[in-house]
A and B are shown apart, each in its own frame.
Chain A
Amino acid sequence: MPDLGHVVRRAVTSAPAPDAALRELKSQLGQERFALVVVFISPTHLSNALADEINASFPDFPVIGCTTAGEIAPDGFADDTIVAVGFPASHFCASVRLVTDAEKEDGAGIAEAVLDQLSEVARAAPDWQGEFAFMLNDGMARNEDRMVSLINPALGTVPLFGGSAGDGLSFHETALFAEGTFHKRASVLAIFRTRCRIKVFRFDHFGPTDTRMVVTRADPERRLVSEINAEPAAVEYARMVGKDPGQLSPFVFAASPVMVKVGGKYHVRAIQKVEENGDLRFFSAIDEGLVLTVAEPEDIVTHLEQAMDNLAATHGKPDTIVACECILRKLEIDQIQARRRISSILAENRVVGFHTYGEQFNMLHVNQTFTGVAIYAPEEADAP
């Protein structure tokens, strides 16, 4: 029996029928009143019937969610499931806002809306100190950077994390759930205030090598790179990472991503796939003239263990960690057959979440990271 949580409630179901699935989720979440429930939905479950069942099952509080490239259930990696995370009203209050594609294009009023959200939670729980923002983005719309640039001025120093919805390994279409229905190309921003202590974090397990290359032709709008070092992109990338161009696959991209150095630090730019014409499609923003450095991974298992220990260092073991983990990490983990070990570390550290097409950490849209929020039990004096 997996650990279903203490303060934050966690649930998972693999029932294919929407009504059965929601029944299971609801019974695992328990009778508590929630400030918000977040659901991570395998694309195999995506249907309007599911949306109806969600609305019928949780009529009293908001539910948001997204499709995934894999779920992190209470007992570790999962596929074809729905994972639910319940934030009880006794410890959390939340304000949710759906931002549609059209609103993003326009841009007007979005920052103001964020300010409203902030003041809403501040009014609801003035005594609670913990505050963070959680953002879900469409995984195929490539507008994460735009979204964050719109909300950032209002968000200020409130830590933000989130992820881009996934579609398994199909890269076809992703969806967000909010306001009772599924949406395309949208974003959802939830702002939390909590009596719990929290820490928003991000880590990856890559370091730079000496091999570098220059993007000589690109389409930033579509995150496409067509030329590297004045050669066709895919072929040249393959040469730089020592692979045959015919071998290029998500597994190669996962093991050998490239990084850009900005502000004295390296940031992973993950490759999504090779287009028909030999272009490379990226998960995050790129541009012509970028210097790309080939990255080299550390042992992902050891690294994760260490990272989890670090999170437990100050306030003890977190009550729950809600994580957005890059699909490429999942691919690497499966390739080295470490799924079981990774799952047990995640279960041990009470991690739930999903596999993304990109992660959001404060203002940065990044790839191949493990990004999330660690929620700790409130300090004793603050306990209800």
Chain B
Amino acid sequence: MHRDAPAVPLLRPDDDQPRQIDKLQRIVDVLMHRVEASGEDGFNSYAHFQTAVALEAQVKARTRDLEEAVTLLNQSRARLAEAKAEAETARADLSNALEAVREGFALFAPDGHLIMSNRRFARMLPDVVRHIKPGLLFEDYTRLVSESAELVLPGDGSAEAWRRNRLRRLRQFHADFVVELKDDRWIQVSQQRTPNGGTAILQTEVTDMVQMERRERDKLLDDQARLIRATLDHINQGICIFDADDRLAAWNDQFFALMTPPMDLMRTGTGFSRFVDHFNTAHIFRSLDAPQAVVDWVAERRNREPLRVEFQRDDDTILDVFTDMTPDGGFVICFTDVTKERAITAALHEVNETLEQRVKERTAEMQKARDAAEHANTSKSRFLAAASHDLLQPLNAAKLFISTLEETEMSELQADVTARVKSAFDSVETILSALLDISKLDAGTSATISVFPLYRLLTPLREEFQAIAAEKGLQFHVVDCGLEVESDASYLRRIIQNLASNAIAYTTSGKVLVGARRKGSDLLIEVHDTGPGIPADQQERVFHEFQRIERQDTAPGMGLGLTIVRRACDLLGHDLMMDSTEGVGTRFAVRVPFRDPAPAARGQNGLRTAPKITSLAGMIPLIIENEAEVRLGMMALLDSWGASPIEATNLDEAHALIKELGVVPDVILADYHLDQGESGLHAIRELRDANGPIPSVLITANRSEQLSASAEEEDVLLLYKPLQPTRLRSYLNTLLNPA
């Protein structure tokens, strides 16, 4: 806070000494005056300011003190109020509690004054009760009681004696005694000293007890009966026992409470039939079936099995009733109140039922919805299928008629029109079969996945499209493959067909190539064309129904081919890929899982060749072989090694293939005997002349010295039939790794 610069001196350094002394004198004067003048001469603004500052501090301090005091005051006031309220509540609670007890209660203070009592206190002494009010002295209370007209004084004792006796008891810490009142009424008094020296008094009317006790005493009860009695009274069920003569022998309070029979029946010796009469007239049961069962059970004297039934009383009480024989030929009936248990069971049952019902309803609803959806779907597919099929019939008929027509003599015009009509019908037929395909695909259940060699699809394809392509001046090539694929043969054929026909349809010059190649664990079946390509912004659209790329120069198409391809691929779970460059061409590829047939072959030999260390991936062997079977076998073998073999039946084809693919094969595998006397060795020579020194293998059954020499001379490896795959493999390996 303080600035670093030193303080500016009070006096100017350039002042001379007398001047400095003068100034100091002046300064001291005003300071002295200021000190002394404080608080004088009327209103002075600065003085006010000074006072204000001082007062401000005081006011602040006072305010704070005051606030604290007020807070404290408020707190203690709040606590006091709280305590008061608590006391009030406690007092109210106590007096409520006291009123609730059945006994008379009074509390006397240590000095003998009555603090509080409840209304039952001394109620049986009407001439005393009106004097009972807080402040009444215990001595006076005792006097009032002793003089009460209701009190029966014991023996010939005087009221005075009674009083003395009573006051003596007061000195006891705890005392219990019984007081007799007129008309054979009795009160038990419990008196207890409270912790602070007061006295609490409890009065209980015990008239009934005293009378009952007296009655009981009058009876002669043997030990056994007492024991049974004690046992019965501690059982939670209502029990009554009858002797061999069907007379009531014993019962417990629970029986009395549950069945509420009239008092006069509850005597030892009451006959069972009297109970039956009573319950017959009382009409307390909902149904008499169960009680009747009990009566019948009792009536049937011998070999009775225990009986268990349920009584339903008209107050909704359900009683579980159990009867059994006793060893002495009598019987016992037990009653248990099971109303609650039954209610719970019933409720559970009901909940369960409701739930079940709901589940059923929901299931039914959902089933209905599912059926409706399925129905809608199938009816759509069925309609498409039916419509397509029904339309195909008349169409075929029409085509037949047209064929017939074509064979008749026609003018040029007629012939032309007939050709156009035929072409139009062809288009309709194509659309219809496409729709048929789509409906089948939509049904979605018709795919049958199997494992089959791919060439089975590709070979017919070549025959199918070669001519159509040639007609358009296009080259059409199918690069076969020896692998087996896992797919639905008919759908996959349809996919490749559609892609190929599409490619041919849209390509005006150049070529269309169908082939397969491995990619990782899958096989890509690819269709290349040198067509106009698909603009990037339309590439997604080509898969939609009736979508065709807008162009003027294209052949007519239905726009359904690619839709079928996509749906079929979706159905089979094959990825469908497309890349296209405008003006260059388009490639479609279908990713299909494949099986390598090679392991099976090895399995048959029971041998395992040395583990394949190198794959021949990327190697392009050219196979020249006129025998289709052998060629396929070679293709499959090389394919299984990872190579991408290409094939030709003769030298011309080989030339054409290399030219078309623009790729020189890595190795030539040529059969010695080709068709029309052509020699494999010659073919090798010619191909080498055209393309450079390609490593080559000649395969032959001819083991002549001459051929061997020629081969050696021309640096061609000679392998004899039957071909040993290991030898071929090791040779190809050396090509891959020259070292």
A residues near B (Cβ < 8 Å) are 142, 145-146, 148-149, 152, 157, 207-217, 220-221, 223, 227, 229-231, 239-242, 262-263, 265, 267, 284-291, 294, 296, 362-365
In the docked arrangement, what's the CA distance between A242 and B9, Å?
11
Question: Which residues from chain A contact B357 at a C-beta distance below 8 Å?
Answer: none
Neighbour of A289 across the interface among B10, B30, B63, CB < 8 A: B30
Question: Which residues from chain B contact A286 at a C-beta distance below 8 Å?
Answer: 46
Q: Is the CB of B1 within 8 A of A220?
A: no
Question: Which residues from chain B contact A227 at a C-beta distance below 8 Å?
Answer: 26
- Scan B426-470; emit 1 where CB is below 8 A from any A CB, else 0: 000000000000000000000000000000000000000000000
- Scan B144-188; emit 1 where CB is below 8 A from any A CB, else 0: 000000000000000000000000000000000000000000000
B residues near A (Cβ < 8 Å) are 1-3, 5-8, 10-12, 22-23, 26-27, 29-35, 37, 43-50, 52-57, 59, 63
Q: Is the CB of B26 within 8 A of A263?
A: no
Q: Is the CB of A211 within 8 A of B7?
A: yes
Neighbour of B7 across the interface among A142, A209, A262, CB < 8 A: A209
Q: Which residue of B lies closest to A146 (CB)?
A: B43
Neighbour of A287 across the interface among B7, B44, B53, B57, CB < 8 A: B44
* Closest Cβ–Cβ distance, residue B67 to chain A (whole Å): 10
Q: Is the CB of B33 within 8 A of A289?
A: yes
Question: Which residues from chain B contact A290 at a C-beta distance below 8 Å?
Answer: 34, 46
Q: Is the CB of B49 within 8 A of A262?
A: yes
* Closest Cβ–Cβ distance, residue A182 to chain B (whole Å): 25
- Interface centre among B32, B33, B34, by most A CB within 10 Å? B34
In the docked arrangement, what's the CA distance between A291 and B46, Å?
13
Q: Is the CB of B12 within 8 A of A231?
A: yes
Question: Which residues from chain A contact B11 at a C-beta distance below 8 Å?
Answer: 229
Question: Which residues from chain A contact B1 at a C-beta distance below 8 Å?
Answer: 207-208, 296
Q: Is the CB of B53 within 8 A of A262?
A: yes
Q: Which residue of B lies closest to A143 (CB)?
A: B45
Question: Which residues from chain B contact A229 at a C-beta distance below 8 Å?
Answer: 10-11, 23, 27
Q: Is the CB of B53 within 8 A of A265?
A: yes
In the docked arrangement, what's the CA distance between A291 and B53, Å?
16
Question: Which residues from chain A contact B47 at a C-beta distance below 8 Å?
Answer: 287
Question: Which residues from chain A contact B12 at a C-beta distance below 8 Å?
Answer: 231, 239
In the docked arrangement, what's the CA distance between A287 and B449, Å?
113
Question: Which residues from chain A contact B34 at a C-beta distance below 8 Å?
Answer: 287-290
Q: Is the CB of A364 within 8 A of B2?
A: no
Q: Which 9 A-B pairs have the closest CB atoms?
A: A289-B34, A210-B7, A285-B45, A207-B1, A363-B52, A287-B46, A230-B23, A230-B26, A289-B30
Neighbour of B49 across the interface among A239, A288, A362, A364, CB < 8 A: A364
Neighbour of A214 across the interface among B30, B43, B48, CB < 8 A: B30
Do A230 and B22 contact each other (CB < 8 Å), given the known contacts A207-B2, A209-B7, A215-B30? Answer: yes
Question: Which residues from chain A contact B43 at a C-beta distance below 8 Å?
Answer: 146, 149
In the docked arrangement, what's the CA distance between A135 and B3, Å?
36
Q: List 7 A-B contacts (CB under 8 A).
A: A145-B45, A145-B52, A146-B43, A230-B27, A231-B23, A287-B45, A362-B56
Do A157 and B49 contact each other (CB < 8 Å), given the known contacts A212-B7, A230-B23? Answer: no
Q: Which residue of B lies closest to A363 (CB)?
A: B52
Neighbour of A296 across the interface among B3, B29, B32, B35, CB < 8 A: B3
Do A289 and B2 contact each other (CB < 8 Å), given the known contacts A213-B10, A284-B49? Answer: no
Question: Which residues from chain A contact B63 at a C-beta distance below 8 Å?
Answer: 157
Q: Is the CB of B30 within 8 A of A211?
A: no
Neighbour of A209 across the interface among B2, B23, B27, B59, CB < 8 A: B2
Q: Is the CB of A239 within 8 A of B48?
A: no
Q: Is the CB of A263 within 8 A of B56?
A: yes
Q: Which residue of B lies closest to A364 (CB)?
A: B52
In the docked arrangement, what's the CA distance between A145 and B35, Å?
21
Question: Which residues from chain B contact A211 at a C-beta distance below 8 Å?
Answer: 7-8
Q: Is the CB of A289 within 8 A of B26?
A: no
Q: Is the CB of A365 within 8 A of B49?
A: yes
In the docked arrangement, what's the CA distance between A244 and B3, Å?
20
- Interface centre among B22, B23, B33, B52, by most A CB within 10 Å? B52
* Closest Cβ–Cβ distance, residue B561 to chain A (whole Å): 64
Question: Which residues from chain B contact A210 at a C-beta distance below 8 Å?
Answer: 2-3, 6-7
Q: Is the CB of B53 within 8 A of A263?
A: yes
- Interface centre among B29, B34, B45, B63, by most A CB within 10 Å? B45
In the docked arrangement, what's the CA distance between A75 and B35, Å?
48
Q: Which residue of B lies closest to A210 (CB)?
A: B7
Do A363 and B56 contact each other (CB < 8 Å), given the known contacts A211-B7, A289-B33? Answer: yes
Question: Which residues from chain B contact A296 at a C-beta distance below 8 Å?
Answer: 1-3
* Closest Cβ–Cβ distance, residue A288 to chain B (whole Å): 5
Q: Is the CB of B49 within 8 A of A212?
A: no
Question: Which residues from chain B contact A364 at a C-beta distance below 8 Å?
Answer: 49, 52-53, 56
Neighbour of A145 across the interface among B2, B32, B49, B56, CB < 8 A: B49
* Closest Cβ–Cβ distance, residue B309 to chain A (whole Å): 67
* Closest Cβ–Cβ distance, residue A11 to chain B (whole Å): 34
Q: Is the CB of B10 within 8 A of A285?
A: no
Question: Which residues from chain B contact A215 at a C-beta distance below 8 Å?
Answer: 30
In the docked arrangement, what's the CA distance between A288 and B29, Å?
10
Q: Which residue of B lies closest to A361 (CB)?
A: B56
* Closest Cβ–Cβ distance, residue A189 to chain B (whole Å): 16
Question: Which residues from chain B contact A213 at a C-beta distance below 8 Å?
Answer: 10
Q: Which residue of B lies closest to A221 (CB)?
A: B45
Q: Which residue of A lies closest to B36 (CB)?
A: A289
Given contacts A148-B48, A230-B22, 17 further A-B contacts (CB under 8 A): A148-B52, A152-B55, A208-B1, A212-B7, A214-B10, A215-B30, A216-B26, A216-B27, A220-B44, A220-B46, A223-B45, A267-B53, A288-B34, A289-B35, A289-B37, A290-B34, A364-B52
In the docked arrangement, what's the CA distance between A230 and B31, Å?
12
Question: Which residues from chain B contact A239 at a C-beta distance below 8 Å?
Answer: 8, 12
Question: Which residues from chain A contact B8 at a C-beta distance below 8 Å?
Answer: 211, 239-242, 294
Q: Which residue of A lies closest to B10 (CB)?
A: A229
* Closest Cβ–Cβ distance, residue B626 to chain A (whole Å): 92
Q: Is the CB of B53 within 8 A of A285?
A: no
Question: Which residues from chain A contact B53 at a C-beta distance below 8 Å?
Answer: 262-263, 265, 267, 363-364
Question: Which residues from chain A contact B26 at a C-beta distance below 8 Å?
Answer: 216, 227, 230
Do A216 and B30 contact each other (CB < 8 Å), given the known contacts A211-B7, A263-B57, A287-B44? Answer: yes
Do A208 and B23 contact each other (CB < 8 Å), given the known contacts A239-B8, A263-B57, A290-B46? Answer: no
Neighbour of A146 across the interface among B2, B23, B29, B48, CB < 8 A: B48
Q: Is the CB of B35 within 8 A of A285?
A: no
In the docked arrangement, what's the CA distance between A157 and B22, Å?
47
* Closest Cβ–Cβ distance, residue B697 to chain A (whole Å): 88
Q: Which residue of A lies closest to B63 (CB)?
A: A157
Question: Which residues from chain A contact B33 at a C-beta distance below 8 Å?
Answer: 288-289
Neighbour of A220 across the interface among B3, B31, B45, CB < 8 A: B45
In the docked arrangement, what's the CA distance between A217 and B6, Å?
26
Question: Which residues from chain A contact B52 at a C-beta distance below 8 Å?
Answer: 145, 148-149, 152, 362-364
* Closest Cβ–Cβ distance, residue A302 to chain B (whole Å): 14
* Closest Cβ–Cβ distance, residue B237 to chain A (whole Å): 61
Neighbour of B31 across the interface among A214, A221, A240, CB < 8 A: A214
Neighbour of B59 across the interface among A148, A157, A230, A294, CB < 8 A: A157
In the docked arrangement, what's the CA distance between A363 and B56, Å?
7
In the docked arrangement, what's the CA distance between A365 and B43, Å?
15
Q: Which residue of B lies closest to A262 (CB)?
A: B53
* Closest Cβ–Cβ distance, residue A222 to chain B (whole Å): 10
* Closest Cβ–Cβ distance, residue B13 to chain A (whole Å): 10
Q: Which residue of A lies closest to B24 (CB)?
A: A230
In the docked arrangement, what's the CA distance between A14 and B605, Å?
106
In the docked arrangement, what's the CA distance between A211 and B29, Å?
20
In the docked arrangement, what's the CA distance between A240 and B10, Å?
8
Question: Which residues from chain A contact B10 at a C-beta distance below 8 Å?
Answer: 212-214, 229
* Closest Cβ–Cβ distance, residue B63 to chain A (whole Å): 5
In the docked arrangement, what's the CA distance between A362 and B32, Å?
30
Q: Which residue of B lies closest to A149 (CB)?
A: B48
In the docked arrangement, what's the CA distance between A146 and B45, Å?
7
Question: Which residues from chain B contact A362 at a C-beta distance below 8 Å?
Answer: 52, 56, 59
Question: Which residues from chain B contact A242 at a C-beta distance below 8 Å?
Answer: 8
